[in-house]
Amino acid sequence: MPVHRSGTARARRLTTAGILLAAFSLLFTLPSAAATAPARGSAYMGVGVLAHDGRGGGTPPLAAVTQTEGVDVSSHQGNVAWSTLWNSGVKWAYTKATEGTYYTNPYFAQQYNGSYNVGMIRGAYHFATPDTTSGAAQANYFVDHGGGWSRDGRTLPGVLDVEWNPYGAAC
């Protein structure tokens, strides 16, 4: 049975879903649990994976940008010591909220709210599985399970994490 939403809530939901779908072009690669994590400060959002896309990405020279360190977290990190990260210089965080239309991060509340509570700018991301359901279905699932955006000046828009297939050899 469909759930009715008010016009304002529906518009906000569609705007957030639109942001998520537009974010498809902003790819960022997260290390898998099996991979060796890059050295702290060596990974950049928006950079393609050379082994898969054949290009080095579009990162400007380091001298040309002001950098603010951030992290991405998922259930692999469990409960995070946010004050420790804050004190070490980490000032923003993206937290995995969902994957496909079948998974929600059980640590999402601690990670998403904990980062915000220590003063970080925070955002949520959705791990896309294009082979399981449509983009619209996944965008809706994301919005319904923590991927909403708030206009508080410290919440980043939702981001779509699209990676080379971590569950098999094919893209």
The answer to whether 26 and 44 are in contact (CB under 8 A) is: no
**Cα gap 52→56, rounded to integer Å:** 10
Residues 6+ apart with CB under 8 A from 45: 26, 28
**Cα gap 135→108, rounded to integer Å:** 21
The answer to whether 143 and 16 are in contact (CB under 8 A) is: yes
**Is 53 an annotated catalytic residue?**
no
Residue closest to 23 by CA, chosen among 153, 147, 161, 121: 161
The answer to whether 158 and 149 are in contact (CB under 8 A) is: yes
**Cα gap 78→27, rounded to integer Å:** 24
**Is 163 an annotated catalytic residue?**
yes
Sign of dihedral through CA atoms 115, 156, 171, 18?
A: positive
Catalytic residue of the set 53, 69, 131, 161: 161
**Is 72 an annotated catalytic residue?**
yes
Catalytic residue of the set 53, 144, 152, 163: 163
Catalytic residue of the set 72, 99, 144, 152: 72
DSSP SS3 for 85: helix
* Residues tagged active-site: 72, 161, 163
